[in-house]
Amino acid sequence: MGIEILGLPMMYYIVMVVKVLVAFVFVLLTVAYATYAERKIIGHMQVRLGPMRTGWHGLLQPIADGVKLFFKEEIVPSQASAFAFLVAPLIALVPAFITFAVIPFGGTIELFGYKIPLQVAAYYDTTAGQVFDVNVGVLYILAMSSLGVYGIVLAGWASNSKYSLMGGLRASAQMISYELSAGLSIVAVFMLSGTLSLTKIVELQSGFGGFEWYIFKQPLAAFMFFVCSLAEINRTPFDLPEAETELVSGFCTEYSSMKYAMFFMAEYANMVTVCALTATLFLGGWNGPFAVAVPLLGPVYFVAKVYFLMFFCMWIRATVPRYRYDQLMHLGWKVFIPLALVNIVITGIIGYFI
């Protein structure tokens, strides 16, 4: 490999692209099979079986769903504003996936003589001998997750239908109010870590044999962040934007075919991202026993934590009924934001005296 780009050999770039592809495909597969897992888990929680007939125990169900949606007719309502209608699913989907770029899913592994940090937006500086990643990783995630709401609001507006508009309006109000408390609740984590870089935050949680997790120091913040994130990504019990009992299907009422599938994928990709972020911030990321000594254990721990949190999301969905709109606003503004502020103050006071 004699070709060099910016002083780095071709192989380095190939390895980097492979890393990105592996991460992306893994997230895509997780998103696809999260739908299957959700149907299966909720089915069994309701003493049913869930999908059983496509493949062994319904294992091919996500693929069958995908193929079906792909071949369905694309319908653009005649009164819809076509451009916004077409672009809205993309605006919802893209931020959902690119958020994953800054989440570290493992330590640094050595491949073809290059040290590769297992994080999409990171590189290993050989002269400095350390990993550099996006040093405002959390800020980037908060920014991207608030971009996702534009897709939903735009979808609601562009559909030119009352149900969609109601869904879009609800989504905007809900996501903006819960973003505040989600953002405030992780401020307490930054006060402990002193950095916004997710790699550093994971490193700081590696003590006690990989169990010095922030959830033990900040249980309230962890709880609030997880609940507010559920609200931000419109999971039950906060799925008011698409409350099918009131709004048919909310913002995606008028959508069909692949465009509907994109909203669906965005929802599940958001769930993966939120669970990955919660695992990174509060459950020690890829840390665990022997994770530093055996580099390949890191991704295993990380995936296990993310899947546990996703199971928890589905478990909550099978249990808790949907909140009423005023209850939702009450919970966001009058419970979580004051609690988050109090948590920050207490963390500050304790941090000052220790």
Provide the binding-site residues for another protein, judged by CB under 8 A: 41, 43-49, 52, 315-316, 318-320
Shortest Å distance, C-beta 336 to another protein = 12
Shortest Å distance, C-beta 147 to another protein = 31
- Within 10 angstroms of residue 206's Cβ, the number of other Cβ atoms is 19
**Cα separation, 273 vs 279, whole angstroms:** 10
Could you tell me the two tokens for 253?
């009422």
Q: Are 170 and 325 in contact (CB under 8 A)?
A: yes
Q: Of 10 and 335, which has the nearer Cβ to another protein?
A: 335
Q: Of 43 and 295, which has the nearer Cβ to another protein?
A: 43
* Cis bond upstream, residue 289 (ω within 30): no
User: Strand pairing of 114-117 and 8-9?
Assistant: unpaired
Q: Of 28 and 42, which has the nearer Cβ to another protein?
A: 42
Please compute, for residue 333, the number of CA atoms within 13 A of its CA located in the half-sphere on the CB side.
10
Shortest Å distance, C-beta 313 to another protein = 12
Q: Of 41 and 149, which has the nearer Cβ to another protein?
A: 41
Largest CA distance in the chain: 64
Q: Of 51 and 151, which has the nearer Cβ to another protein?
A: 51
**Cα separation, 131 vs 350, whole angstroms:** 31
Identity of the amino acid at 128: A
Shortest Å distance, C-beta 43 to another protein = 7
**Cα separation, 264 vs 1, whole angstroms:** 42
Shortest Å distance, C-beta 20 to another protein = 36
The full length of the chain comes to 354
**DSSP per position, 217-235:** H-HHHHHHHHHHHHHHTT-
Q: Of 93 and 331, which has the nearer Cβ to another protein?
A: 331
Shortest Å distance, C-beta 227 to another protein = 10
Q: Of 43 and 77, which has the nearer Cβ to another protein?
A: 43
Helical packing angle, 137-158 and 82-98, nearest 10°: 160
Shortest Å distance, C-beta 318 to another protein = 5
